[in-house]
Amino acid sequence: MEKANIDWENLGFGYIKTPYRFVSDYKNGAWDEGRLTEDDKVVITECAGVLQYAQTCFEGLKAYTTLHGDIVCFRPDLNARRMHDSALRLEMPAFPQDKFVDAVRQVVKANAAYVPPYGSGATLYIRPYMFGSDAVIGVKPANEYQFRIFTTPVGPYFKGGVKPIVIKVSDFDRAAPHGTGHIKAGLNYAMSLHAIVTAHQEGFAENMYLDPATRSKVEETGGANFLFITKDGTVVTPKSDSILPSITRRSLCYVAEHYLGMKVEHREVLFSELKDFAECGLCGTAAVISPVGKIYDHGKEICFPSGMEKMGPVIQKLYDTLTGIQMGRIEAPEGWIEVIA
């Protein structure tokens, strides 16, 4: 199959329209069969639930070309489950999880020419999303919904690829206690836009959000979970009910324990502990693992011993193992790799 004419090596994290997307409609209490379409436009009433009350959630996963030339996806069943959880929390009808995986397969296969070649450093980002599509004016859930998946080829999320970034401790909160931080609701990202624009204007790549109730514990960034390495080589990831349960983070913890024989702790992480860690990284589908070199906290700096030049050695090992599994260089745990074509 001939690949699209794209400069794969120099892609950033942006939107490039690919030929096909998947669409399914929910009406009269049921989802239809769904279909692939070339039409990238969404036409809805001005009073749609998504436009008035932000009734929308989404997912993010990637397709890869492996060393062996297969096109694969990484753990799409977990994205299906998380989107199910997001939908229910937003009073939306969940899209059936088996149909979600099937729709991912259909849309990736149809856009196979846009799955970046092995070794290019790029991947095909897959964006499933759903929204309330019929008119609501009183505050209540919509009656009709649309579920869609589009794809776009992407390069690294942060400029500079895998160079360590500098982030700041945000003065804004991302998620309220007992709120929606643990689901992938569009509203979580809308309210983070002012914080990220502010951080970028000040020269930082991302925000570190603390727990809003006490501001003493580390939560996550706008689009990735944190992962810390202690000086004796233990992987530590923050635990909180208002953090999005990252599939990348859960996979990395498994890899650390079962492939690399490391100790893993998923627990509350105090902000005051950060100065004692050896390495810090952000993990997520888009971020993969992006090393953090420095955290700026109101005039003070926390500098990790791994420095600003390259990834620390432990995070590098985790990165190599995870991407090795995704790209077919290392054998994957049972059920992690969905072969599509």
**Which of these, 105, 111, 101, lies nearest to 153 by C-alpha position?**
111
Q: Does 256 bind ligand PLP (CB under 6 A)?
A: no
Q: How far apart are CA 158 and CA 151, in angstroms?
A: 19
Tell me which of ligand COI, ligand PLP, none is bound by residue 246, counting a contact when its beta carbon lies within the kind-specific cut-off of 5 to 8 angstroms: ligand PLP
Give me the helices (H) in the chain, please: 49-53, 76-89, 97-110, 186-190, 193-201, 247-258, 313-326
Catalytic positions, written as ranges: 184
| 247/274 with CB nearer ligand COI | 247
C-alpha of 173 from chain center: 19
Q: Rounded to the nearest whole angstrom, what is the least distance from the CB of residue 267 to ligand PLP in the complex?
A: 18
Residue whose C-beta lies closest to ligand COI: 60
Tell me which of ligand PLP, ligand COI, none is bound by residue 244, counting a contact when its beta carbon lies within the kind-specific cut-off of 5 to 8 angstroms: ligand PLP
Residue 135: DSSP 8-state: B
Instruction: List the interface residues with ligand PLP, window 54-93 (CB under 6 A).
Output: 60
Q: Does 237 bind ligand PLP (CB under 6 A)?
A: no
Q: Contact with ligand PLP (CB under 6 A): which of 170, 285, 290, 326?
A: 285
Q: Contact with ligand PLP (CB under 6 A): which of 220, 237, 279, 337?
A: 220
Q: Rounded to the nearest whole angstrom, what is the least distance from the CB of residue 185 to ligand COI in the complex?
A: 12
Tell me which of ligand COI, ligand PLP, none is bound by residue 225, counting a contact when its beta carbon lies within the kind-specific cut-off of 5 to 8 angstroms: ligand PLP
| 133/248 with CB nearer ligand COI | 248
Alpha carbons within 13 angstroms on the beta-carbon side of residue 299 total 0
Q: How far apart are CA 301 and CA 296, in angstroms?
A: 5
Q: Does 212 bind ligand PLP (CB under 6 A)?
A: no
The residue assigned the tokens 């899209």 is 95
DSSP 80-96: HHHHHHHHHHTT-PPPP
Give me the helices (H) in 90-201, please: 97-110, 186-190, 193-201
| 156/284 with CB nearer ligand COI | 284
Q: How far apart are CA 205 and CA 241, in angstroms?
A: 25
Q: Rounded to the nearest whole angstrom, what is the least distance from the CB of residue 225 to ligand COI in the complex?
A: 10
Tell me which of ligand COI, ligand PLP, none is bound by residue 247, counting a contact when its beta carbon lies within the kind-specific cut-off of 5 to 8 angstroms: ligand PLP
Phi/psi at 113 (5° precision): -65, -15
Q: Contact with ligand PLP (CB under 6 A): which of 146, 207, 237, 248?
A: 248
